[in-house]
Structure 1
């Protein structure tokens, strides 16, 4: 696609990157065929091709409006379009660049600003999030229905973590909302890794991966969180830790972007590149281990929902299913496994109507094989799908841990 950036756009730190991505797009439209919002709304501007054109117009100096902002907001950032693009268009990075320019030019309504700032203030702080969750459970009966569906029932407490020392060590990101929404996920991970002779090193100084800030109009704040995590992990990296493990694929996808996003920061570029190289989704660690020694036998029928951040961003589609098959689990067939459930980080709150439509479509597909349990690899998807009150949804590692002899 031919494009001529405006003089103002050429001053942007990522101007060359934006122009390169725009020029890679040939406007073929294959992306629209797999775009969840285009499928729901049937509007060219609600698909990747239309959004790319909107960003092109913005960067060429055309007028920016709230409608432009709305069309970009409605993108789930699922990156399904990248999987199907024959030209290799780096859509998600172009979207990040375009959103930053649009958000700087268009003032959001007060209600939107309050929601977004509230999410940034709460979600990235585990202790505050936990306190609000506890209060929500006390007053559930008087909460609006919309909030009740977003408030999961109290989770069972996490099992004890192993205390044995192993020569092999990994770091593990604890996450922001996962300790409250699914507290046993990381404990189950530590217990399974322990059986395989791998220890989990604590890293209490590490916090939110930065994705929440970065995708809610605060890219600089998101990158500052990335830098703090790099500082927190660096002593362990220098000691030879094997990997930085994530049990939430959304966090993992963002941490793997640290190297790219901080590539122009002279103080952090090399460290960020190293951190991204060490970042591994849990399945990347387990698939290379002798899983047969776990002697697992699972009798439940499971349907796996592969999060967009796992299959499209991290290119690990099929990896969890392969591990579970090796362990003997009974997996049902799931049609349209490439589609998004509508969670998409905070999307289920900022775009509730579209999110619910996508959730219901996804659940219909997941339940078509009549599973006992739906499993997934991202706490956002897990909580969002569970909010429908239908088939129970859990993280896949919890089922593996529960089946240990």
Structure 2
């Protein structure tokens, strides 16, 4: 794709980066064939190719061109950031990188309405603090009829109790665990189950209370500087344990894992943090990566359930771990049903199901139809956002896959 930036613009780091991505695109449109929003809406501007043209137009336009920025912002907001297009693209276009640049530029040039800004700010403050989120969750569960409809479906009536965790220093092998923001409230058993499974494999888990939100929520709600502040705070919290010999930082939410693996890239221009950020990214492991390298015969499992696995976009497209969970579950003896169009997003996408509820609901229902076609006893997934979004339809039960493994240990 040809670009037309001025010599002055080409001196700007974000334009240099965008120019490199844009020039890799050959307009082929293969990406549209696997884009969930394009398949739903049939609008070129709501597919990756069209959004790339919108971002090109935005970045090449005059700095005071608010109309172009506002037009781009509408269609960029509808993007799920599922990165299915990156998996599909034969030219290796780094669409996600361009999207981050385009969204930040549109936000700078076309400020949102006061209502939108307050809504985004409220989501950020509500979701990134586990204590605050759990307090609001308990309040919402007490006064459910008063909760707005698009939030009401996100509240589990009675999450599985976490149960005891093994002692932290039982084994010579030690990993850290990112506890997450909303997962301790929505699915408190997930991390406890992970600790029990890893204990069976001779690995101790150290939770680091000082490590907070990974930063993804701020970043995807266009508060990118605040997200980087959270990254730096997490690096500071983890670093003493890294120096003491922790071998990995384990995530059970694939969305968090995908984001932590980007710390090195996102802080590459920060001289104080670039090196440590890359080390943290290199140490970040989804729980399936740890189990995939473990002697699974140590896990004596009585697998008697028929499962359908929903592979989150952040696992299969961002982390390139498609098929990994299915492989572990099959090795352990679980019966997995086939799932058509498993590459398509369920519509959760972080806060997308709240900010774009109509599209998210259509995607969710389509995904559930595909998952339920094989008549599973339980749908399992690897990300709390997907789990909550799918469970909100009140159809087949939805769990994190590691909880099912933990419950079937003999």
- In the superposition, the TM-score normalised over structure 2's length comes to 0.97
Q: How does 1:327-346 map to 2 (within 5 A)?
A: 327-346=332-351
The range that moved more, 368-377 or 13-22, is 13-22
Query: Could you tell me which of 156, 160, 165 is aligned with 2:164?
Result: 160
Q: How does 1:121-200 map to 2 (within 5 A)?
A: 121-163=125-167, 165-200=170-205
Q: How does 1:262-341 map to 2 (within 5 A)?
A: 262-341=267-346
What secondary structure does 2:170 align onto?
coil
Aligned to 1:225: 230
The range that moved more, 246-255 or 106-115, is 106-115
For 1:95 and 1:280, locate their aligned partners in 2 and report how far apart those are by CA, in whole Å: 25
For 1:76 and 1:34, locate their aligned partners in 2 and report how far apart those are by CA, in whole Å: 12
What secondary structure does 1:384 align onto?
helix
Aligned to 1:117: 121
What secondary structure does 2:399 align onto?
strand
Contact 1:54 1:68 in 2 (8 A): yes
| Residues 1:115 and 1:12: Cα distance change in structure 2 (over 3 Å) | farther
Contact 2:296 2:332 in 1 (8 A): yes
How big is the shift at 1:172? 0.5
For 1:297 and 1:362, locate their aligned partners in 2 and report how far apart those are by CA, in whole Å: 28
For 2:268 and 2:310, locate their aligned partners in 1 and report how far apart those are by CA, in whole Å: 33
After superposition, the C-alpha distances for 1:101-122 in whole angstroms (9 at most, x for unaligned) are: 0000001122211111001111
Q: Does 1:369 align with 2:374?
A: yes
Contact 1:190 1:199 in 2 (8 A): yes
Q: How does 1:56-67 map to 2 (within 5 A)?
A: 56-61=56-61, 63=65, 64-67=68-71
Aligned to 2:245: 240
How big is the shift at 1:7? 5.7
Contact 2:174 2:247 in 1 (8 A): yes
Q: Does 1:97 align with 2:104?
A: no
| Residues 1:121 and 1:144: Cα distance change in structure 2 (over 3 Å) | closer
For 2:351 and 2:152, locate their aligned partners in 1 and report how far apart those are by CA, in whole Å: 16
For 1:146 and 1:199, locate their aligned partners in 2 and report how far apart those are by CA, in whole Å: 39
After superposition, the C-alpha distances for 1:47-106 in whole angstroms (9 at most, x for unaligned) are: 000000011011112532422211000000000000000000000010000100000000
| Residues 1:12 and 1:134: Cα distance change in structure 2 (over 3 Å) | farther
What secondary structure does 1:217 align onto?
coil
Aligned to 1:397: 402
What secondary structure does 2:153 align onto?
helix
Coordinate RMSD, CA, aligned: 1.1
Give the ranges of 4+ consecutive aligned residues of structure 1 lying more than 4 Å apart after TM superposition: 6-9
Query: Could you tell me which of 71, 75, 79 is aligned with 1:71?
Result: 75
What secondary structure does 1:312 align onto?
helix
For 1:134 and 1:8, locate their aligned partners in 2 and report how far apart those are by CA, in whole Å: 53
Paired residues, what number?
Answer: 405
How big is the shift at 1:150? 2.5
How big is the shift at 1:284? 0.4
Contact 1:9 1:59 in 2 (8 A): no
For 1:125 and 1:170, locate their aligned partners in 2 and report how far apart those are by CA, in whole Å: 23
The range that moved more, 161-170 or 37-46, is 161-170
How big is the shift at 1:8? 6.5
**Structure 1, gaps ≥5 residues long:** none
For 2:349 and 2:9, locate their aligned partners in 1 and report how far apart those are by CA, in whole Å: 28
For 2:2 and 2:221, locate their aligned partners in 1 and report how far apart those are by CA, in whole Å: 30
After superposition, the C-alpha distances for 1:196-236 in whole angstroms (9 at most, x for unaligned) are: 00001121110000000011111000011001101111111
After superposition, the C-alpha distances for 1:156-190 in whole angstroms (9 at most, x for unaligned) are: 22111001511000000000000000000000000
Contact 1:6 1:61 in 2 (8 A): no
Contact 2:150 2:354 in 1 (8 A): no
